[in-house]
Amino acid sequence: MSDIHNVAVLGFGTMGAGIVQVVAASGREVTVLEADQARADAGLDRLRSFLDGGVQRGKLTESGRDAVLARVHPVTDVTALAGSDLVIEAVTERADVKRELLGRVAAVVAEDALIVTNTSALSVTDLAGAVSNPERFAGLHFFNPAPLMKVVEVVRALQSGPGVVDRLVAFVEAIGKDPVVVKDRPGFLVNHLLMPYLNDVIAEYDAELASAEDIDTAIRLGLGYKLGPLELLDLIGLDVHEHATRSAYDATLDPRFAPPPLLQQMVAAGYHGNKNGQGFRTGKGNAQ
């Protein structure tokens, strides 16, 4: 059982929309803050089209979809978040943007409202410093696409107070996800393990170990992974991976996180993976 009923989500982008859907589907009211009406409308459209896809595939009824949408309230004024029990921040991965917004939100919500960040690349402990009463702060890291991925990392910041992590674990279970409590380390747990592996594959591909297709085939058939590492990178976005692994490298100076030269060059050339059709397994970036 979770004591969290009213949830606010900051940012109605890809991750924000996914989180909004998961929380609203659990029967909770969700207020979503965006910078302006156009972005709020775009987020609502994104959510609606995802839910429509669920209806078409028979995963969701039309009335179920309408009930979820009825619980979602897009706003552009931060004061509309005043009654929230929990605020989930999911705006762009820039520390300055997140800190400024978190400070404003903390001033509006109750002193004991929980505030969490969905960052994947920044330090939760650092962001906690942006809010008053930082003991109510933690990380809640959803994976993309949030409605489909079962795991949510609950990240304990250095400042997180006793009981905060327990309340978040109960909340994650209440919205139908599997919580994993992790430390505030670069990449937390999953990306901490994933990033060096992906960097290693990029470096070996650059060193002509095998074609991109054969590397993916070997990993899929040999280990039973759903995706090979290079098609996974195209899906994640080369720019997204480059930013995340660079952040981890800056925080640790551990060479396993250092973005490999080929990755840097592909990002510099504008090859971002599936989203613009240029990556390891697709388009011009396919160096095979």
Residue 194 CB neighbours (<10 A): 17
Of 84 and 120, the one with the shorter C-beta distance to other proteins is: 120
- 122, 246 Cβ separation under 8 angstroms: no
User: Is residue 287 close enough to count as binding other proteins by CB under 8 A?
Assistant: no
In whole angstroms, how large is the CA radius of gyration of the chain? 20
Stretch touching other proteins by CB under 8 A, among 38-46, 87-95, 119-127, 216-224: 216-224
Stretch touching other proteins by CB under 8 A, among 22-30, 57-65, 113-121, 217-225: 217-225
Residue 208 known to be catalytic: no
The site map against other proteins for 220-249 (x = CB under 8 A) is -xxxxxxx-x--------------------
Residue 141 known to be catalytic: yes
Of 225 and 270, the one with the shorter C-beta distance to other proteins is: 225
* CA atoms of 168 and 142, how far apart (whole Å): 13
* CA atoms of 30 and 47, how far apart (whole Å): 13
Of 63 and 255, the one with the shorter C-beta distance to other proteins is: 255
Contacts of 249 (CB under 8 A, 6+ apart): 255, 257, 258, 259
Of 39 and 192, the one with the shorter C-beta distance to other proteins is: 192
User: Is residue 57 close enough to count as binding other proteins by CB under 8 A?
Assistant: no
DSSP-assigned letters across all residues of 64-101:
HHHHHHHTEEEES-GGGGTT-SEEEE---S-HHHHHHH
Residue 120 known to be catalytic: yes
User: Is residue 183 close enough to count as binding other proteins by CB under 8 A?
Assistant: yes
Of 43 and 187, the one with the shorter C-beta distance to other proteins is: 187
* CA atoms of 255 and 249, how far apart (whole Å): 7
From 104, 156, 192, 243, residue interacting with other proteins (rule: CB under 8 A): 192
Stated length of the chain: 288
Which one of 26, 84, 141, 242 is the catalytic residue? 141
The helix/strand/coil state of 199 is helix
Phi, psi of 101 (to 5 degrees): -65, -45
Query: Applying CB under 8 A, which residues contact other proteins?
Result: 143, 149-151, 153, 178, 180-183, 185, 189-190, 192-194, 196-197, 200-201, 204, 208-211, 214-215, 217-219, 221-227, 229, 256
Give catalytic residues, as residue numbers: 120, 141, 153, 191
